[in-house]
Amino acid sequence: MRQDSLYPDSSSTPEISRADRDRLTDLKTQIRHHDYLYYVKDQPEVSDGEYDRLFRELVELEQKHPELITPDSPTQRVGAPPLDELGKVRHEQPMLSLDSIVDPEEVLVFDQRMRRELETNRIEYTVEPKFDGLSVELVYDQGRFVRGSTRGDGSLGEDITINLRTIRSLPLQLHGENLPDHLAVRGEVYMRLGDFHALNRRMTERGLDAFANPRNAAAGSLRQLDSQITASRPLVVTCYEVMATGGPRPESHWDELEALIQWGLPVPVLRRRCDTIDQVLEFHRATEQQRDNLAYEIDGVVVKVNRGDWQARLGMKSRSPRWAIAFKFPPRKEITEVQDIAISVGRTGTLTPLALLKPVEVGGVTISRATLHNADEVARKDIRVGDTVRVERAGDVIPAIAERIPVPDETRSAPFQMPNACPVCSAAVAREGAYYYCTGQASCPAQLKGAIEHFASKAALNIEGLGKKTVAQLVDRGLVKDLSDLYRLDREHLLELEGFAERSSTLLLDAIAQSKTMPLDRFLMGLGIRQVGQHIAKVLAQEFGTLEAIMSADQDRLQQIREIGPEISASLCSYFQERSNRQVIDQLQKLGLSIQSRPPLSISTDLPFSGRSFVFTGGLIRMTRNEATSLVERLGGTVSSSVSRKTTYVVVGDEPGSKRDQAMKLGVQVLNEEEFERLMNRSGNT
């Protein structure tokens, strides 16, 4: 149904001239060819301007004769209306995963096993990069791209056809000799590094969160309900397996890749046929050396027995084939020196030790600091100033110190100790387990800056234009001493600041004024009370309805709420008992901040899930976590991140974590995604 809207039906169009018809075919062929050269071969032959000219001409011709628009036209990549949800697709063949190894010794073991099972000493392997993206299945009927899906749980994936259509390296129509009537192929969708960084720059400029790594960016872009968004994201695809064909298959994996190329599909450019396992090891070594110069992320190489009949003979285990293995690269590590250990003070006063490193490049990124988490961690790793350490960056994670290179103790500096006074405001430091806190609260400039940044952040009062740099200037110049001072700022104050002119001052003052009307939960969250994040703020707002009611609730009353235990209730009470905090809230209200109360929902026991709490673990196929959460919340339930005896249901998706085991242990009811959906549907939701 939806697809139809891509091909407009027009009954009264001008007569089509032969010349127009021929030109249209010619333009489509040319554009497809240039797409292929640009996106697949990375060797464009025309300028962007020339390409745009051809594209515009095609659009104009198609506007003149809409009945000539075919689904495989390059103009038809975008334009499908947004979906309400992603449908499910059952894969024709299970989409398996791969066993992985890191140690070269294990590759030799793999080779021995292959030789033993195939009873031969001459095995040909194909090796190619292991792309770090999102695995997809693409289906072509009569050469036309008809369906694409995510891997999901291996049998059931999500239908992302309209999103995949927007990827320019994905041909909408295949051509060539021996093209089967039906073809299902598997490949990886990913984002090139340059495109990923440019996308993140665009996102942050617009005040949106940046993606942590290219894989997340690709996954987030592909699982969109609105294909226009996917179209604006620079994704590419590479195919590496034929899953099913309507006819005979090529005899080997190598021939399969060659056939895919003939039919117009992109395949790994780096690939090699190896006669010996030594050649496999050599390819792995050479590819790892090349890794940092590649335009995309890879995390190893995939080794596959080349001959199709041998693959069939070897067969598969429950989740992975016996004839292939992922030979991963070890995480990127480099050696450097700890020049100093600094302490950063967070918004709640937590002191975090940070290793300041002699700058070193790890996998293309220069690293000059690594978090040491807390005092216990420093003690455990026994990191001291002057030590030589190995720093590690695995994929996206924040650099960490993997290990210290041991040297005799007498040559080392004194063991690290947490300070007794806050390095920023000199207030006394208090200790709670492994954590140390500055007791200076809002009189500590570091805490004040953090508190204001948090108050102004998107999830709280969303004051656009009040970023880190501006906050630092406001605090350092003494213009803002507590949250209420924000609402006392005027144009003259702002014009004093570096980088502020008339327009930027007006914009910030407007944004501050706009934040004066705020829903209770966002205001509560903005206060930055320890343990009170977005979710707990919502729970409190729903339960109590007004700020006054929350402020006057004692610990017993607070703990009557399912999600609130002794720690959160203690934190809330001590925050509201503090005179200075009450004064700031009072000042904020006097300055015109109007907190929108919510009618208490405790009367809403009529909602089907009132009083029931859910915990999700593992990936859901039918909906995103956010969608599932809002579904539960709409029906009066709550969603929590950890399992306790108070949890009503644990919903288990793909590759669940330890929460399932915990649920079993505590006797909490476990639901799979289907059961969860049924439960929702039974409750009047569709």
Based on CB atoms, which residue is closest to ligand IVH, 129 or 399? 129
Based on CB atoms, which residue is closest to ligand IVH, 259 or 383? 259
Binding mask 584-623 for ligand IVH (x = CB under 6 A): ----------------------------------------
Assigned token pair, 517: 């009307």
Q: Which of residues 179-208 bind ligand IVH (CB under 6 A)?
A: 188
Token pair 């096993």: residue: 113
Binding mask 229-268 for ligand IVH (x = CB under 6 A): -----------xx--------------------------x
CA within 13 Å, CB half, 8: 12
Based on CB atoms, which residue is closest to ligand IVH, 214 or 349? 214
Instruction: Identify which of 463, 429, 459, 457 has the alpha carbon closest to the alpha carbon of residue 444.
Output: 429
Binding mask 101-130 for ligand IVH (x = CB under 6 A): ---------------------------x-x
Catalytic residue among 28, 130, 449, 538: 130
Give DSSP secondary structure letters for 200-230: HHHHHHTTPPPPSSHHHHHHHHHT-S-HHHH
Task: Establish if 216 lies at the interface with ligand IVH (CB under 6 A).
Answer: no
Residues present in the chain in total: 686
Using the Cα atoms of residue 9, residue 15, residue 18 and residue 19 in order, give the sign of their dihedral: negative
CA 574 to CA 581: how far, in whole Å?
A: 10
Nearest approach in angstroms of CB 242 to ligand IVH is 11
Nearest approach in angstroms of CB 576 to ligand IVH is 50
- Whole-angstrom CA distances from 257 to 165, 264, 277, 304 are 21, 11, 21, 12
Task: Establish if 453 lies at the interface with ligand IVH (CB under 6 A).
Answer: no
Q: Pick the stretch among 90-98, 213-221, 284-292, 484-492 that binds ligand IVH (CB under 6 A).
A: 90-98
Q: Which of residues 476-505 bind ligand IVH (CB under 6 A)?
A: none
Please identify which residue in 59, 219, 326, 507 interacts with ligand IVH, judged by CB under 6 A.
326
Task: Establish if 96 lies at the interface with ligand IVH (CB under 6 A).
Answer: yes
CA 598 to CA 544: how far, in whole Å?
A: 8
> Is residue 75 helix, strand or coil?
helix
Q: Residue with the closest Cβ to ligand IVH? A: 135
Task: Establish if 97 lies at the interface with ligand IVH (CB under 6 A).
Answer: yes
Token pair 């829903």: residue: 519
CA 315 to CA 107: how far, in whole Å?
A: 19
Based on CB atoms, which residue is closest to ligand IVH, 97 or 644? 97
- Using an 8 Å Cβ cutoff, are 59 and 74 in contact? no
Nearest approach in angstroms of CB 394 to ligand IVH is 15
Based on CB atoms, which residue is closest to ligand IVH, 111 or 241? 241
Beta bridge partners of 438: 429
- Using an 8 Å Cβ cutoff, are 154 and 94 in contact? yes
Residue 139 corresponds to which amino acid? V
Task: Establish if 321 lies at the interface with ligand IVH (CB under 6 A).
Answer: yes
DSSP assignment letter at 619: B
CA 226 to CA 84: how far, in whole Å?
A: 9
Please count the helices (runs of H) and the strands (runs of E) in the chain: 24, 24
- Is residue 130 part of the annotated active site? The answer reads yes
Binding mask 126-145 for ligand IVH (x = CB under 6 A): --x-xx---x----------
Chain residues that interact with ligand IVH, rule: CB under 6 A = 96-98, 128, 130-131, 135, 188, 240-241, 268, 302, 321, 324, 326
Catalytic residues: 130
